């Protein structure tokens, strides 16, 4: 199976076309890989439906943010070109073509999955004939739960055209009034509070879309009218929030911006296949679509709603439930996180090891009378947050608590405003960071009074302090009591709260101050090794790689003879395997049960990877210009031997060895699913069944070994 990250045409400078892939088309290629999992025969059916739903929500966000930004550039005639030399208009033309093909593939996948689900007793209705009991139940459901909350509105000169909010959906009805035979057009907007699908009780497992529920009962909604036709539609609007540099009150600015986002410029109009042309023309005119993308969607205009069907209680059609382990290292210290960390550094590998460790760390800090201060960054925390509760408890216990709440976390702005308000009421010192930069670093710092003075305990994460994503994202949580880490973490917080730039750090590299330079120094060291005839290697695991300067640096390393292996889940603008440019670089992408989210860098340091003297780092930053230049991020060195072995010889190596969930990027921009071969290896299954090195404690020395991974060129274990 193949998908494409780049396509010919456009008129960009050949030099740029030859060096980089287009960022937006690479993202669309990533979403096609997500969609491909909906057709993965090795997955249970409801999990495949979940991947289809995810591909829909992914596409929504892409259109609302990335395409909206390009549309704005094109409208304002901004001359800026992409990394591959395309103007905004050229990119939009290529995106339209790619999105249309993606949506068509989503419809094909839906039909296939609907047929397969019907064979096992779960039916997704498309005007399906109902039994008498089913029809009666659905009619009563409509009367009780739908009819009271929907409002039909005539579309004529006497009625203003209704506002359709972002991600709003509705139905256009073509009617004839029986009293005088006059034609009428009516619109019914579907309130977001209504479920997207309704399950009719009974053994058939029948799910009916809310649009179909309304259309089936149009007679109750429009008595005295004859139904001529109907069609569902959906609207996506520009959802990006641009920060004004002179914003005097960031909280007030964001509260206003969140409301304004609902009314952003229309970016996409989604229509059912047989949507009435006159109704379509009316929508185009009233929504002032101009160059907005209008797509005929087939039977389903909103794939995100399919997530409701995944909740069907059919465990045999889902992944077997997985319960994360609690690290033995901490249990050996009777659950005392501080004692375990004080003994030596520890890394927790989520979701295989429980996020409860992070929560317990903060809860213990809140309850410990010897803890005097807690400092915490918060980017995304979720709607139910034990982390927030622990910070509030600490403040109420009289401790000094500082929380850096990032208001600019896209689509979490409103929730973060609520958390900030609750924290402030509890006595937490809430800081909103920089106006221009997002604080994306995941850092927790606890200062504890101990014999001889104070000791600082730090947590550095690659993922958010979010209990839901911690169950499905693979991330690393690193705990240390290294004094150098504590000093640098203190400098980091002073940078955020008081704009005191960290002049010199002993442990952390911090963007936008020193992280890029640190990476380049490490790459240059490998280039020097290769130039001297020594082994030279770089391994990296990222979510995205788009920064032109960083990519050029990796090209330089490849040309010097450095062997580079990259695992890039999503967007990758680097072209691997190009003779004379990047023949020493390989790129793979992993899409599986869990979303790969951790960021890791490893440098051979004079020997082939993996090796004990390799320089290993974890980070909150991806290989994007925004992470390196416009966000506050950290790059954290891993020096403890056991943690070093786990991150390099377990986590990183397993990603390179995976054959069951991996795609390889070719020089022409195509992705090819790896052939699992006679000895397939699934990194998610490996970590679900094998404990980590760092968290095993005394068990590590008892002789009960974790199966060792060995690098074999060409894949396999």
Residue 17 known to bind ligand: no
Residue 473 known to bind ligand: yes
Tokens of 605: 């340091």
Q: CB count, 10 Å around CB of 6?
A: 19
Inter-CA distances, 369 with 339, 366, 403, 447, 482, Å: 15, 8, 20, 11, 22
**φ, ψ at 37 (rounded to 5°):** -70, -20
Tokens of 297: 């969607």
Give CA–CA dist 661/666, Å, rounded.
Answer: 17
Residue 380 known to bind ligand: yes
Residue 593 known to bind ligand: no
SS3 state of residue 581: coil
Of 526, 579, 591, 544, the closest CA to residue 83 belongs to 544
Give CA–CA dist 284/281, Å, rounded.
Answer: 5
Q: Would you call 440 a catalytic residue per the annotation?
A: yes
- State how far Cα 663 lies from the chain centre: 19
Q: What share of the chain is helix, strand, coil (3-state, %, to 5)?
A: 40, 25, 40
Tokens of 328: 């033995």
Give CA–CA dist 290/288, Å, rounded.
Answer: 6
Residue 484 known to bind ligand: no
Tokens of 238: 């520009």
Strand partners, 540: 566, 601
| Residues 67 and 293 sit within 8 Å (Cβ to Cβ) | yes
Q: Which residue has the tokens 């901490």?
A: 330
Q: CB count, 10 Å around CB of 498?
A: 9
Give CA–CA dist 260/262, Å, rounded.
Answer: 5
Print burial letters for 414-433: b (CB count within 10 Å at least 16), e (below 16).
eebbebbebbeebebebbbb
In angstroms, what is the C-alpha Rg of the chain? 27
DSSP 585-616: EEEEEE-SSSEE--EEEEE-SSSPSS-TT-EE
Residue 326 known to bind ligand: no
DSSP 29-96: HHHHHHHHGGG-TTS-HHHHHHHHHHHHHHHHHHIIIIIHHHHHHHHTT-----TTS--HHHHHHHHH
| Cis amide linkage into residue 351, ω under 30° from 0 | yes
DSSP 325: B
Tokens of 590: 């992993």
| Residues 538 and 604 sit within 8 Å (Cβ to Cβ) | yes
Tokens of 298: 């087939």
Give CA–CA dist 72/593, Å, rounded.
Answer: 36
Catalytic residue (choose from 350, 440, 466, 644): 440
Of 66, 537, 477, the closest CA to residue 267 belongs to 66
Print burial letters for 7-34: b (CB count within 10 Å at least 16), e (below 16).
eeebebeeebbebbbbbbbbbbbbbbbb
Of 407, 141, 33, the closest CA to residue 252 belongs to 407
**φ, ψ at 147 (rounded to 5°):** -55, -40
Q: Positive or negative CA dihedral for 692, 599, 607, 578?
A: positive
Give CA–CA dist 592/227, Å, rounded.
Answer: 46
Give CA–CA dist 97/133, Å, rounded.
Answer: 45
Which amino acids are annotated catalytic? Answer: 440
Residues contributing to the annotated binding site: 58, 380, 410, 473, 569, 597
Which residues are annotated binding-site positions for Mg(2+)? 380, 410
- Mark the binding-site residues for ATP, compressed into ranges: 58, 473, 569, 597
């Amino acid at each position: 199976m193949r998908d494409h990250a780049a396509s010919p045409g456009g008129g960009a400078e050949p030099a740029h076309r030859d060096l980089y892939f287009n960022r937006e088309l690479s993202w669309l290629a990533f979403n096609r890989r997500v969609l491909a999992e909906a057709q993965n025969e090795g997955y249970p059916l409801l999990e495949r439906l979940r991947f289809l739903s995810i591909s829909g929500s992914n596409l929504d966000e892409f259109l609302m943010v990335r395409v909206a930004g390009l549309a704005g550039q094109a409208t304002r005639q901004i001359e800026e070109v992409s990394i591959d030399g395309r103007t905004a208009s050229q990119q939009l033309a290529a995106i339209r073509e790619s999105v249309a093909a993606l949506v068509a593939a989503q419809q094909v996948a839906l039909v296939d999955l609907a047929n397969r689900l019907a064979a096992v007793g779960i039916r997704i209705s498309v005007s399906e004939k109902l039994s008498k009991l089913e029809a009666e139940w659905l009619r009563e459901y409509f009367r009780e739960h739908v009819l009271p909350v929907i409002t039909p509105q005539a579309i004529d000169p006497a009625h203003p055209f209704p506002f359709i909010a972002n991600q709003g959906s509705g139905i256009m009805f073509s009617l004839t009034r029986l009293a005088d035979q006059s034609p009428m057009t009516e619109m019914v907007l579907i309130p977001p509070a209504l479920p997207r699908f309704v399950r009719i009780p009974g053994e058939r497992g029948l799910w009916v879309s809310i649009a179909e529920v309304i259309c089936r009962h149009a007679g109750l909604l429009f008595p005295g009218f004859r139904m001529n036709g109907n069609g569902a539609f959906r609207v996506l609007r520009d959802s990006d929030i641009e920060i004004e540099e002179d914003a005097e009150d960031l909280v007030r600015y964001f509260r206003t911006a969140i409301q304004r986002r609902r009314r952003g410029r229309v970016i996409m109009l989604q229509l059912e296949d047989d949507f009435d042309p006159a109704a379509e023309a009316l929508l185009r005119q009233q929504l002032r679509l101009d160059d907005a993308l209008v797509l005929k969607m087939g039977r389903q205009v909103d794939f995100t709603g399919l997530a409701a069907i995944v909740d069907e209680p059919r465990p045999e059609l889902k992944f077997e439930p997985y319960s994360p382990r609690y690290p033995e290292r901490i249990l050996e210290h009777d659950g005392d996180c501080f004692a375990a960390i004080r003994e030596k550094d520890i890394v927790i590998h989520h979701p295989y090891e429980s996020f409860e460790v992070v929560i317990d760390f903060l809860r213990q800090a809140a309850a410990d009378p010897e803890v005097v201060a807690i400092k915490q960054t918060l980017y995304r925390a979720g709607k139910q947050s034990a982390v927030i509760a622990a910070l509030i408890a600490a403040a109420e216990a009289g401790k000094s608590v500082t929380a850096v709440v990032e208001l600019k976390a896209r689509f979490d702005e409103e929730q973060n405003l609520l958390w900030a308000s609750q924290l402030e009421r509890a006595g937490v010192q809430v800081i909103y960071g920089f106006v221009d930069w997002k604080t994306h670093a995941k850092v927790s710092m606890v200062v504890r009074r101990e014999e001889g003075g104070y000791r600082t305990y730090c947590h550095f994460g690659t993922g958010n302090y979010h209990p839901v994503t911690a169950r499905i994202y693979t991330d690393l949580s690193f705990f240390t009591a290294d004094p150098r880490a504590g000093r640098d973490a203190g400098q980091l917080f002073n940078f955020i709260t008081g704009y005191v730039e960290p002049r010199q750090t002993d442990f952390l590299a911090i963007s936008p101050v020193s992280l890029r330079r640190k990476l380049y120094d490490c790459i240059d060291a490998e280039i020097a090794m290769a130039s001297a005839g020594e082994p030279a290697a770089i391994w990296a695991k990222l979510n995205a790689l788009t920064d032109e300067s960083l990519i050029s640096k990796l090209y330089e390393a490849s040309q010097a003879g450095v062997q580079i292996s990259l695992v890039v889940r999503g967007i990758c603008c680097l072209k691997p395997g190009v003779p004379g440019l990047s023949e020493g670089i390989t790129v793979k992408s992993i899409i599986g049960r869990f979303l790969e989210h951790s960021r890791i860098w490893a440098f051979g340091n004079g020997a082939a990877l993996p090796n004990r003297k390799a320089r290993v780092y974890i980070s909150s930053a991806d290989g994007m210009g925004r992470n390196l230049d416009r966000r506050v991020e950290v790059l954290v060195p891993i020096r403890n031997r056991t943690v070093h072995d786990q991150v390099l010889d377990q986590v990183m190596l397993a990603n390179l060895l995976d054959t069951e969930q991996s795609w390889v990027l070719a020089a022409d921009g195509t992705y090819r699913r790896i052939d699992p071969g006679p000895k397939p290896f699934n990194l998610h299954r490996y970590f679900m069944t094998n404990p980590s090195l760092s968290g095993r404690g005394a068990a590590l020395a008892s002789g009960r070994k974790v199966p060792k991974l060995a690098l074999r060129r060409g894949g396999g274990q």
